[in-house]
Amino acid sequence: MDERARIPVSLPRDNPTTSYWQDPPDASVASLRTTPALPTSADIIIIGSGITGAAVAWNLLQNDTSTPEQTIVMLEARSACSGATGRNGGHTKAASYRTFPSYASDLGLAAAVQIARLELSNILAVQSFARDHAIACDLSACDTIDVIYDAAQWVQAQDSVAAMRAALGTDDPAARYTLLSPSEVRDRFYVHDGEFEGVGQKVYGGVVYHAGSLSAYKFGVGVLKLCLARGLNLQTHTPALSLSRDGEGTWMVETPRGAITAPRVVLATNGYTARLVPAFQGAIVPLRGQIAAHRPGANLRAKGPLPTTYSFIYEAGYEYMVSRRSTDSSAGGDIIMGGGLLRAPNEGLEEYGTTDDTSINPIISEYLHETTPRYFGPDWGEDDERGRVHAEWTGIMGYSPDGFPFVGEMSGPGLENEGLWVSGSFQGHGMVLCWVCAKALVEMMEGRDGEELETWFPEVFRVSEERMAKRFEGRRLHTSVVPNDAEGEEGQ
Ligand SMILES: Cc1cc2nc3c(=O)[nH]c(=O)nc-3n(C[C@H](O)[C@H](O)[C@H](O)COP(=O)(O)OP(=O)(O)OC[C@H]3O[C@@H](n4cnc5c(N)ncnc54)[C@H](O)[C@@H]3O)c2cc1C
């Protein structure tokens, strides 16, 4: 793992695999350059146009009371929103009960409670923002079920839910879980006991709670459009090649189209951040995730898009899945399935440290192809005559050794980069973190970094020299299942 974490991080690659969500790309924004020439200066440069860059821009523009208004230029290496946000699983699911015990023991109960509340608040904020601004992003605010096929994890799930209820109170929405027996799971959802590689796969129980799904690409593009209407200057196909600061504290960003300067720069570059700030090498490690879009089998198609999202949790990992809601009837009901990392050689080791989203891993692909008939059993039915899988793609996430994002100004002891801000490293969890982390970042940028922010924003998410110095040291991902000793998981 340490060797993989040392691979120099590249810029986003040309010609990535075609993400289902970006097919077709948004006609007006994908390749937009607001001005034909790159401006030579701005008040703020945001690098990266995923959900983080878009949310940072939105918060800055929304709060802008300066006259004349501050100029914000966003640089994007490829087309707009073409990174992880445009290539993910579309699942807005916190699963806070799975991390709560380890956070409580590592960080203390108050921090664990804060993180659980923050994750739910992110989901609800994205859902209401999409509704309030009429962003057509195939949004579904619905329940999810974690189907648990492992005895030990079922015991842990029950203990964790009990611990959360005790800590937060049963009325707290962030502690609202329904535990289901195996027969209740089988009666209420389209899942079955089954078999995998000759080993019985028995349902031990289920956990139901509020979650949702959306096209994060359409959401991100929708937010960008709102920002453009308020004066954002978006420059796609303009990679930031390097960053430097002069003696006056002005930052200069070099691009193939010339340089641009600003007193403040925001890194919204997630898995690619170490390319621009080498101090993040090993602290934000790229991890390639893979997804397959399945056409529903005949029996599942007859049921229409499923009312809930699902995760299938077994001893050594899990898959996560949403049922596509789409205005395009040919895509409605499609099953978007992510996971399978541990099926790759060396339990997915070679997916770390790579920024290659131009190809898929054939072993993960083969595994993901088989998941739908296995999990849905008789509820799957005959494959669609056009073939079961009609799109597969990869995308690059950013992973940190402690499993938390880096948010804040790169200043303070040991950092000394005043004016350089970052919000990145969202693991496979960005749809439940990025939106509120961007809000917190802008609070800090605008001088509101005080008691109010401390009430809801976890200290452990803040960038610091100490956190940046942490390394994986042989471990894989921060585990979100079992404290201390389990292998990690990607995506939601
Ligand atoms: C396959 C996959 C499945 C996932 N599934 C889920 C899920 O179901 N639920 C969930 O919550 N999360 C999921 N995630 C994680 C989630 O998508 C991310 O955490 C989130 O999208 C991060 O958003 P971001 O804006 O911070 O980064 P990104 O969306 O990656 O945006 C960063 C942008 O910066 C640009 N960039 C980078 N370097 C430069 C540079 N030097 N110059 C200019 N531009 C640059 C990139 O091109 C990119 O557009 C998944 C991720 C992947 C890859």
- CA 149/CA 313 separation, integer angstroms: 6
Whether 376 and 358 have beta carbons less than 8 Å apart is answered as no
The Cβ of residue 119 has, within 10 Å, a number of other Cβ atoms equal to: 22
Residue found by looking up tokens 């009901």 in the block: 333
Ligand 1 atom 49, closest CA = 83
Q: Please give the pLDDT value at position 476.
A: 64
Q: Please give the pLDDT value at position 486.
A: 34
Q: How far is the CA of 396 from the centre of ligand 1 (A)?
A: 6
Report the run of H or E that residue 290 belongs to, with start and end. strand 285-294
Q: What pairing do the DSSP bridges indicate for beta strands 285-294 and 335-339?
A: antiparallel
Strands laid side by side in the 242-245 sheet: 242-245, 251-255, 258-262
- CA 63/CA 446 separation, integer angstroms: 9
Token readout for 142 is 């619905």
User: Is the preceding peptide bond at 24 cis, omega within 30 degrees of 0?
Assistant: yes
Residue found by looking up tokens 């946000």 in the block: 85
Q: How far is the CA of 384 from the centre of ligand 1 (A)?
A: 31
* Per-residue confidence in pLDDT tens, the chain, 492 aa: 889 999 999 999 999 999 999 999 999 999 999 999 999 999 999 999 999 999 999 999 998 787 778 999 999 999 999 999 999 999 999 999 999 999 999 999 999 999 999 999 999 999 999 999 999 999 999 999 999 999 999 999 999 999 999 999 999 999 999 999 999 999 999 999 988 777 778 999 999 999 999 999 999 999 999 999 999 999 999 999 999 999 999 999 999 999 999 999 999 999 999 999 999 999 999 999 999 999 999 999 998 889 999 999 998 888 999 998 766 667 778 999 999 998 888 888 999 999 999 999 999 999 999 999 999 999 999 999 999 999 999 999 999 999 999 999 999 888 889 999 999 999 999 999 999 999 999 999 999 999 999 999 999 999 999 999 999 887 665 433 333 333 345 666
**Sequence letter at residue 56:** V
- CA 221/CA 237 separation, integer angstroms: 15
SS3 66: coil
Please identify, by atom number, the ligand 1 atom nearest to the C-alpha of residue 240: 42
Q: How far is the CA of 182 from the centre of ligand 1 (A)?
A: 36
Q: Mutate which of 85, 243, 441 to test ligand 1's pocket (most atoms within 8 Å of Cβ)?
A: 85
- CA 312/CA 380 separation, integer angstroms: 15
Q: Which pTM value belongs to this model?
A: 0.96
- CA 283/CA 2 separation, integer angstroms: 11
Q: Mutate which of 272, 352, 365, 404 to test ligand 1's pocket (most atoms within 8 Å of Cβ)?
A: 272
Whether 253 and 75 have beta carbons less than 8 Å apart is answered as yes
Name the residue among 445, 441, 480, 446 with its Cα closest to residue 461: 441
Whether 53 and 84 have beta carbons less than 8 Å apart is answered as no
Q: Mutate which of 138, 397, 441, 478 to test ligand 1's pocket (most atoms within 8 Å of Cβ)?
A: 397
Q: How far is the CA of 266 from the centre of ligand 1 (A)?
A: 15
Q: Please give the pLDDT value at position 484.
A: 32
Q: What pairing do the DSSP bridges indicate for beta strands 251-255 and 242-245?
A: antiparallel
Q: How far is the CA of 417 from the centre of ligand 1 (A)?
A: 24
**Sequence letter at residue 135:** I
Q: Mutate which of 38, 88, 213, 241 to test ligand 1's pocket (most atoms within 8 Å of Cβ)?
A: 88
Q: Please give the pLDDT value at position 197.
A: 78
Ligand 1 atom 52, closest CA = 88
Residues 6+ positions from 204 with CB-CB distance below 8 Å: 148, 149, 150, 151, 153, 154, 182
Name the residue among 460, 471, 490 with its Cα closest to residue 110: 460
Residue found by looking up tokens 């960005």 in the block: 430
Whether 434 and 280 have beta carbons less than 8 Å apart is answered as no
Q: How far is the CA of 268 from the centre of ligand 1 (A)?
A: 9
Q: Please give the pLDDT value at position 67.
A: 74
Please identify, by atom number, the ligand 1 atom nearest to the C-alpha of residue 427: 19
- CA 52/CA 49 separation, integer angstroms: 7
Q: What is the DSSP letter of 272?
A: G
Q: How far is the CA of 124 from the centre of ligand 1 (A)?
A: 20
Q: How far is the CA of 317 from the centre of ligand 1 (A)?
A: 22
**Where on the phi/psi map is residue 95: left (φ > 0), alpha (ψ -120 to 50), or beta?**
left
Please identify, by atom number, the ligand 1 atom nearest to the C-alpha of residue 273: 38
- CA 451/CA 214 separation, integer angstroms: 33
Q: Mutate which of 426, 429, 461, 490 to test ligand 1's pocket (most atoms within 8 Å of Cβ)?
A: 426
Residues with CB under 6 A from ligand 1: 11-12, 47-53, 75-78, 82-85, 87-91, 239-240, 268-272, 275-276, 289, 291, 338, 395-397, 424, 426, 428-432, 434, 491-492
Whether 36 and 352 have beta carbons less than 8 Å apart is answered as no
**Where on the phi/psi map is residue 416: left (φ > 0), alpha (ψ -120 to 50), or beta?**
left
Sign of the Cα pseudo-torsion (99, 465, 10, 51, in order): positive
- CA 181/CA 184 separation, integer angstroms: 5
The size of the chain, in residues, is 492
CA-derived radius of gyration, the chain: 22
Please identify, by atom number, the ligand 1 atom nearest to the C-alpha of residue 357: 53
**Sequence letter at residue 488:** G
Q: Please give the pLDDT value at position 492.
A: 66
- CA 216/CA 307 separation, integer angstroms: 19
Whether 216 and 227 have beta carbons less than 8 Å apart is answered as no
Q: How far is the CA of 380 from the centre of ligand 1 (A)?
A: 31
Q: What is the DSSP letter of 138?
A: -
Q: How far is CA 250 from CA 1, 220, 254, 408, 442, in A?
A: 37, 29, 13, 18, 19
Torsion angle, alpha carbons of 402, 428, 193, 212, to 10: 130
Name the residue among 226, 237, 228 with its Cα closest to residue 25: 237
